[in-house]
């Protein structure tokens, strides 16, 4: 593994951590995407941005439903 590979790997890890930890609210990381159940790295809650955005949209809808009732 050369420095470029290491840098790319670190960047990927950093990106995944940012994806998982940027929003403290929500479910804990379980090793699986909280939206679709896909296996993800430890500490990561969504397998990709689409899942996170869909999950957030649903969470927002659930919250609004709760507020209205
Ligand atoms: Zn997913």
Inform me whether the pLDDT recorded for 69 exceeds 90.
no
- Cα dist from 66 to 51, 60, 69, whole Å: 22, 10, 5
What's the 36 CA to ligand 1 centre distance in angstroms?
4
pLDDT at 63: 83
Question: If you average pLDDT over residues 17-24, what whole number do you get?
Answer: 61
Cα-to-centroid distance, 48 and ligand 1 (Å) = 6
Tell me how far the alpha carbon of residue 7 lies from the centroid of ligand 1, in angstroms.
Answer: 25
- 6 CA → ligand 1 middle, Å: 26
- pLDDT level of residue 20 (50, 70, 90 thresholds): low
């Amino acid at each position: 593994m050369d420095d470029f590979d290491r840098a790319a790997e670190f960047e990927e890890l950093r990106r995944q951590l940012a994806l998982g930890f940027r929003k403290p609210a929500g479910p804990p990381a379980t090793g699986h995407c909280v939206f679709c159940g896909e296996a993800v790295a430890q500490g990561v809650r969504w397998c990709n941005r689409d899942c996170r955005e869909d999950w957030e949209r649903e969470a927002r809808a659930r919250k609004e439903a709760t507020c209205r009732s």
